[in-house]
C-alpha cells in the first residue's frame, strides 16, 4: 500500500515536472553541435622539447659550447671572441660578431653574463647587445643596482622601449633572454610595408610585450627604418666590456 502510494506520488510529481522538462529538452535539440567548432586540421608537427637547458629538437644551435664556427666578425673574418668553459667572451678589441647565416622571424634563446668584478657605471658596466637582424638592439647590461636611463638598461629595446620590470640577476650570474621577433617587411621600392615586433622574457619574466619597432637602433637622433633583406644575421655587440654568452639557439618561425 505504501509502495503504491509512493509510486503514485512519483508519477504525479513526474507529470507536474513534465512541462518544465520539455522546453529544456527542446533547447538541447536546437543548441549547436560542439563538434562543429572542433578543428582537426592541421595537426601541429611534433617537436621534442629540450630537457633542462637543452634546445628543442627543431632548433638551430648557434653555439654549443665548443666553437664559433657559425659566427664571424662584421668584417667577415673569423671571430676573435674567446671560447672557454662552454662560453665565449668579448675580449679586448674583439669587435662585433654576427652569424654566418641570416634569419627572419625567429624565436631566440640566448644566455649572457656580465663580469662578476664590477667595473664602471651606467652604460659602461657589462654592456653588450643582441642585435636582431644586425639592427634592432635588445640591450645587454649589468642593470643590477646600476642606474642609467631606463630605455638603455638591460632588456630595453635600446632608446625605444623601457622594460616592463628589471629582472636582472647579480653580476657574474648567468641570465637569459627568450625573444620572439617578427621581422619588418619592405616593399620592393624600400618603403616599410609592416614594422617589426619584439617580445622579450628576461630570466623568464616578460619585459617586452610585442612592442612595435620604430626603426634601426641608433645612439643619437630618432630611430628610422632602413630597408633590408627578409633574412639578416644576428649580431652580438662588442662594447669594450668582457661580457660572455652561451647556449644560443634559434627556431625559425
161 and 167 Cβ atoms separated by less than 8 Å: no
Write out the three cell numbers for 119.
667595473
Q: Which residues here bind Mg ion, judged by CB under 5 A?
A: 127, 129, 237
Least CB distance to Mg ion at residue 133 (A): 16
126 and 115 Cβ atoms separated by less than 8 Å: yes
Q: Which residue is nearest to Mg ion (CB)?
A: 129
Q: What does the alpha-carbon distance between residue 27 and residue 21 come to, in Å, rounded to a whole number?
A: 10
Q: Which is nearer to Mg ion, 129 or 171 (CB)?
A: 129
Least CB distance to Mg ion at residue 181 (A): 17
Catalogue the long-range contacts made by 43-52 (C-beta closer than 8 Å, 24 or more residues apart): none
Q: Which is nearer to Mg ion, 70 or 128 (CB)?
A: 128
Least CB distance to Mg ion at residue 121 (A): 15
- Scored b (16 or more CB within 10 A) or e, 209-231 reads eebebbbbbeeeeebebeebeee
Q: Which is nearer to Mg ion, 59 or 202 (CB)?
A: 202
Q: Which is nearer to Mg ion, 55 or 129 (CB)?
A: 129
Least CB distance to Mg ion at residue 239 (A): 5
141 and 130 Cβ atoms separated by less than 8 Å: no
Amino acid at each position: 500500500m505504501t509502495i503504491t502510494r509512493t509510486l503514485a506520488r512519483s508519477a504525479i510529481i513526474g507529470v507536474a515536472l513534465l512541462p518544465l522538462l520539455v522546453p529544456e529538452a527542446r533547447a538541447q535539440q536546437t543548441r549547436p553541435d560542439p563538434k562543429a567548432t572542433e578543428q582537426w586540421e592541421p595537426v601541429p608537427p611534433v617537436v621534442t622539447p629540450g630537457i633542462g637547458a637543452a634546445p628543442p629538437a627543431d632548433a638551430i644551435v648557434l653555439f654549443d659550447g665548443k666553437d664559433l664556427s657559425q659566427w664571424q666578425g662584421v668584417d667577415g673574418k673569423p671571430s676573435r671572441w674567446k671560447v672557454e668553459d662552454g662560453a665565449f667572451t668579448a675580449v679586448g678589441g674583439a669587435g662585433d660578431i654576427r652569424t654566418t647565416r641570416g634569419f627572419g622571424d625567429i624565436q631566440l634563446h640566448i644566455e649572457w653574463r656580465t663580469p662578476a668584478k664590477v667595473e664602471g657605471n651606467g652604460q659602461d658596466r657589462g654592456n653588450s647587445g643582441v642585435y636582431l637582424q644586425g639592427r634592432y638592439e635588445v640591450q645587454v647590461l649589468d642593470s643590477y643596482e646600476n642606474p642609467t636611463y631606463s630605455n638603455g638598461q638591460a632588456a630595453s629595446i635600446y632608446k625605444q622601449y623601457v622594460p616592463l620590470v628589471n629582472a636582472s640577476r647579480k653580476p657574474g650570474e648567468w641570465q637569459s633572454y627568450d625573444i620572439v621577433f617578427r621581422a619588418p617587411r619592405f616593399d620592393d621600392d624600400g618603403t616599410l610595408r609592416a614594422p617589426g615586433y619584439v617580445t622579450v622574457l628576461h630570466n623568464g619574466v616578460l619585459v617586452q610585450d610585442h612592442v612595435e619597432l620604430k626603426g634601426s637602433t641608433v645612439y643619437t637622433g630618432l630611430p628610422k627604418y632602413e630597408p633590408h633583406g627578409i633574412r639578416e644575421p644576428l649580431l652580438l655587440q662588442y662594447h669594450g666590456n668582457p661580457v660572455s654568452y652561451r647556449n644560443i639557439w634559434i627556431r625559425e618561425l
